[in-house]
Structure formats: structure tokens, C-alpha cells
Amino acid sequence: MIGIAAMLKNRGIGYRGQIPWKKPDDFKWFKEFTLGKTILVGSKTFLSLPALPNRKILVLSSQLNYTWYHPQQDTAMSTVCLDEVYQISKTREIIVAGGAQVYKLFLPQITEFYVTHIEGSYEVDTFLPPFEHFFSKNEVIREFKGGKVVKYYN
């Protein structure tokens, strides 16, 4: 599995269910990286996302057999359970894209983690769990005004 996230220096990733910053270069990077791929998110993250065309979205939730309708998506997303995620990951690459609980659950399985380090100070109430100890290497792969993308891997 691969992970993608954006965080502040204090590890903040969200505020009241939304991303607290507006960084067009970070959103552009997310789009480029995830286009045509399968993304795994929790239900709260799914509902906070804008429309993400040309991606397969898996919604991890304890509410099995529930269909999620996104106000900006044309298609409904069915809930997947942990076993289904692991089965799908055997045949296709999955990108773990939040929220905090989903990251915490899957960090031990993530082999590459792309983290945008956002500059600035924003009000936050949700934090990315510590992940650095899972990886032995890191390198900056992209820089833009107000942030940089670091790839963590082994």
C-alpha cells in the first residue's frame, strides 16, 4: 500500500472535517498522483472530499452494507471492510488517503508514504499519527510555494 497526506509542523491534518489550508499546488499534486488509481478513505474523509473523477474510491467504515452518496460525485460508493481492503490490495495498488484513524490502521502496511509538509499556522483538531519510525529513508521529491512533498520509504 501507498499513503498520501498533507500535514503541518504540529502534525495537524484537519479542522472540523475539512482541510484547513488552500494550497493549489498541493491539490494539483494530489490529483496528479491519484488519477486513475484506487483510493482508500474513511467515511468522514470521503464526505469532506471534492469530486474526484477518474478514481476508484473505497470507503472504510464500520457501517457495512451501507452505500455512501457524495454530494459532488455522480456515483455511490459502497463500504468496504478490512478483509476486503486486504483482498483488493493483493491485485491492485491502493492509496491510503485519510483520515487519521485510517492512517493509524494502515501505516504498518504502507511501503511508500508521500507527505506534503505545509508551511504556516492553521487551526486544527485532527492530527496525523507518528509514522516516521516505519521508514528508514526519506527524500524531498517536490517543492512549491508554501510546502514540500517528502517521500518516506525503506
- Note the pLDDT of residue 14: 96
E strand spans, the chain:
2-7, 12-14, 38-42, 56-60, 67-68, 77-80, 94-96, 112-118, 126-127, 137-144, 147-153
- Note the pLDDT of residue 46: 87
The topology (CATH level 3) of 2-153 is Dihydrofolate Reductase, subunit A (3.40.430)
Amino acid at 26: D
- Note the pLDDT of residue 135: 98
- Note the pLDDT of residue 49: 85
| Domain residue extents for the chain | 2-153
- Note the pLDDT of residue 31: 95
Could you report the average pLDDT of every consecutive run of 10 residues in the chain (154 residues)?
A: 98 95 95 94 87 87 64 63 89 95 96 98 97 98 97 98
- Note the pLDDT of residue 81: 84
Write down the pTM of the prediction.
0.92
- Note the pLDDT of residue 141: 98
